[in-house]
């Protein structure tokens, strides 16, 4: 099919094919890069949120707890003194400040192996994350995707939870030293025997994966749209420049070749009046087309000179043939009986005339 197309459409088609293949390969790499960038961004936001919750925990443990303990008696248990409660409540209030149209669907959980509140118990997926933190001390953060039944796909960011403040052990060392009111509310089975700096669970934020995909798709659409626009402009400019710089000079050489092939140009003077300016423009160029034009000009001159020599040879040959034909015709006439008879009569006539004289 390419062989049947002209030069300009052929260049356009080739560029389009290159664009399609390049866009497919580049789009695949770009999609993955943008997906990774979106995941990194969301993961960083999740980590920032969890660090904020850790700051709330420390503030509760260091600032709020000492004040509330002055007014708390043995028969009362105030959840506000628990750092985990403060972090969870802060996240709930943060969620309430966003309008539903903004789709603030982050889910925050402090999943613990041995929690005081059964709602904080790790599930099988979160247990695997905690095991990774326990087995590899170099792992300080984890992220990825999790499919939740009836909820869909979520992107998660997880950090390890450990006891950093010794004051937390006042409620979580042994049931004997825990506040009676806390034991009455949560029992004596969970949330004890914790050790300082021991990894107890994971702090995790769940984000709907669609939000990550939407960010990546929006970025991909913007970049690819700009890329297509730039390519369209470049293709238009290339075609606009290709015609005067390449197509027209090649067409001029092709027309000149046709005239030479049909023997329309017989002399250099005829060449000068027909295509001299176009050919001179090509010859004066310093690129490959200019080199081709100079070679073509030399070839044209040689062809015209050869044609002139051939025509001269043909004329000389015609003259020689005509002379040969005349000589042969004379010879044929001389050899005829009639001519011989006339010749004899002429001799006799000349002899008789001589005798008479």
What digits encode the pLDDT tens for the residues 155-181? 888 999 887 777 666 677 777 777 776
3-state secondary structure of 99: coil
Does a structural domain hold residue 147? yes
Q: Of 178, 194, 177, which is closest to residue 186 (Cα–Cα)?
A: 178
Lowest mean pLDDT among 83-92, 129-138, 219-228, 271-280: 271-280
The pLDDT value given to residue 255: 72
Tell me how far apart the alpha carbons of residues 202 and 122 are, in angstroms, rounded to a whole number.
Answer: 8
The pair of three-digit structure tokens given for residue 229, joined into one six-digit string: 């626009």
pLDDT reading at 101 higher than 60: no
**Share of residues in the chain with pLDDT > 70 (%):** 78
Does a structural domain hold residue 274? no
* Burial classification of residue 258, based on how many CB atoms lie within 10 Å of its CB (0-12 exposed, 13-18 middle, 19 or more buried): exposed
**Rounded mean pLDDT, 61-83:** 71
Does a structural domain hold residue 87? yes
Q: What angle do CA 132, 136, 142 make, to 5 degrees?
A: 50
More confident residue, 332 or 25: 25
Specify the number of domains making up the chain: 1
Does a structural domain hold residue 202? yes
Does a structural domain hold residue 305? no
**Rounded mean pLDDT, 24-33:** 81
User: Model confidence at 152, in pLDDT bands (50, 70, 90)?
Assistant: confident
Residue with tokens 């297509």: 228
**Rounded mean pLDDT, 127-150:** 88
Helix (H) or strand (E) holding 26: helix 7-59
The pLDDT value given to residue 132: 92
**Rounded mean pLDDT, 253-265:** 67
Q: In the chain, how long is the greatest CA-to-CA distance?
A: 188
Question: 289 near 249, Cβ under 8 Å?
Answer: yes
The pLDDT value given to residue 131: 92
Pairing of strands 107-112, 199-208: antiparallel
The pLDDT value given to residue 102: 46
Question: 242 near 261, Cβ under 8 Å?
Answer: no
**Rounded mean pLDDT, 96-117:** 71
User: Model confidence at 264, in pLDDT bands (50, 70, 90)?
Assistant: low
More confident residue, 133 or 95: 133
Most confident option among 73-77, 139-143, 273-277: 139-143
Does a structural domain hold residue 241? no
Range of the domain at 26: 2-222
Measured in residues, the chain has a length of 357
Chain-centroid distance of CA 177 in Å reads 64
Does a structural domain hold residue 294? no
Does a structural domain hold residue 99? yes
């Amino acid at each position: 099919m390419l062989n049947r197309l002209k030069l300009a459409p052929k260049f356009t088609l080739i560029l389009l094919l290159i664009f399609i293949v390049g866009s497919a390969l580049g789009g695949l790499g770009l999609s993955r890069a943008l997906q990774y960038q979106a995941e990194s961004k969301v993961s960083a936001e999740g980590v920032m949120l969890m660090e904020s919750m850790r700051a709330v925990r420390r503030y509760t443990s260091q600032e709020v707890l000492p004040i509330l303990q002055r007014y708390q008696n043995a028969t009362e248990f105030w959840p506000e003194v628990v750092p985990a409660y403060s972090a969870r409540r802060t996240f709930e209030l943060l969620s309430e400040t966003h309008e539903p149209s903004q789709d603030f669907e982050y889910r925050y959980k402090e999943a613990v192996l041995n929690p005081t509140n059964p709602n904080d118990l790790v599930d099988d997926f979160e247990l695997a994350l905690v095991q990774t933190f326990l087995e590899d001390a170099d792992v300080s953060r984890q992220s990825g995707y999790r499919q939740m039944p009836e909820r869909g796909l979520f992107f998660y960011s997880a950090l390890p939870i450990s006891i950093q403040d010794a004051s937390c052990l006042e409620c979580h060392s042994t049931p004997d030293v825990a506040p009676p009111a806390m034991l009455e509310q949560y029992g004596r089975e969970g949330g004890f025997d914790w050790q300082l700096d021991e990894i107890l669970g994971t702090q995790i934020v769940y984000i709907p994966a669609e939000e990550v995909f939407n960010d990546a798709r929006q970025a991909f659409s913007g970049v690819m749209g700009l890329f297509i626009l730039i390519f369209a402009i470049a293709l238009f400019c290339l075609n606009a420049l290709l015609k005067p710089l390449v197509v027209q000079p090649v067409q001029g050489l092709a027309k000149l070749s046709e005239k030479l092939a049909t023997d329309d140009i017989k002399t250099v003077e005829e060449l000068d009046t027909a295509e001299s300016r176009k050919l001179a423009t090509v010859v004066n160029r310093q690129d490959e087309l200019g080199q081709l034009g100079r070679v073509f000009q030399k070839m044209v001159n040689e062809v015209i000179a050869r044609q002139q020599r051939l025509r001269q040879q043909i004329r000389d040959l015609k003259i020689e043939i005509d002379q040969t034909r005349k000589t042969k015709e004379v010879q044929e006439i001389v050899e005829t009986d009639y001519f011989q008879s006339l010749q004899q009569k002429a001799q006799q006539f000349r002899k008789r005339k001589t005798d008479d004289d």
